[in-house]
Amino acid sequence: FTADQGVVGEATGQDIVPTLDRWLDPSKVDAGKAAPETVSGTIGSGGIKDNAGLLDSATIEQLRALDAPGEDPIFGKVVGIFLDSTPNQLKQLKKHAADGEFTGINLIAHSLKTSAANVSALSLSALFRELEIAAGNEEHETCTSKMEELAALYDEVSAALRVATADQAIKKKTA
C-alpha cells in the first residue's frame, strides 16, 4: 500500500515508514508523484466534508483497514490516546521553552511528531518536526513562535479528530 499510488489495501509496518518519511520530508517525494491527499472534516457514509485539510485520508483509511469485526476501531483508540496524552505534553513543552531547556523540547517534539503522524495530522506532525529542529539548533525565538503555532493548530486538529472519531462511532452504531 502506498498513498501516492491511490491503492488501499493491507498495510504492514514496513509500508508506513517510507510513506511517513515522504509525508514528513517533501524532498523525498518523486517529482512525478502526487503529495498525499488530506482530509478535512468529517468522514461519514456520505464521504469527506471540508475542514481545512487537517487530516490525511490515506492514514485514516490505513488504520481503519486494520479494524477487526466486532472490535473497537483502532483509529478511535489511537486518537483517544493522542487526545488524552498530548495536552500534558504541550504543557511540558511550554515549561521547557520558558526554562530554555532545548533537550526537553527536542525530546517531546520528536515524540509528538510521530504521534501526530499516527493520527493522520500530518501538518501538525510537520510543525512538531520544525520545533524539534529549532530545539536541536537552540533557536529560542523560533521555538517560541512554533509553540504558538502548535497551540492553535493542535486545537483545530483535535476538533477534527473528535469529529472523525464521532462519525466512526455513529457509523458503527447504525451498522
pLDDT, tens only, 124-168:
999 999 999 999 999 999 999 999 999 999 999 999 999 988 866
Q: Rounded to two decimals, what is the model's pTM? A: 0.68
Q: Is the pLDDT of residue 37 over 70?
A: no
Question: Where does 47-175 have alpha helices with state H?
Answer: 57-65, 74-99, 102-118, 122-136, 140-174
d(CA 58, CA 152): 24
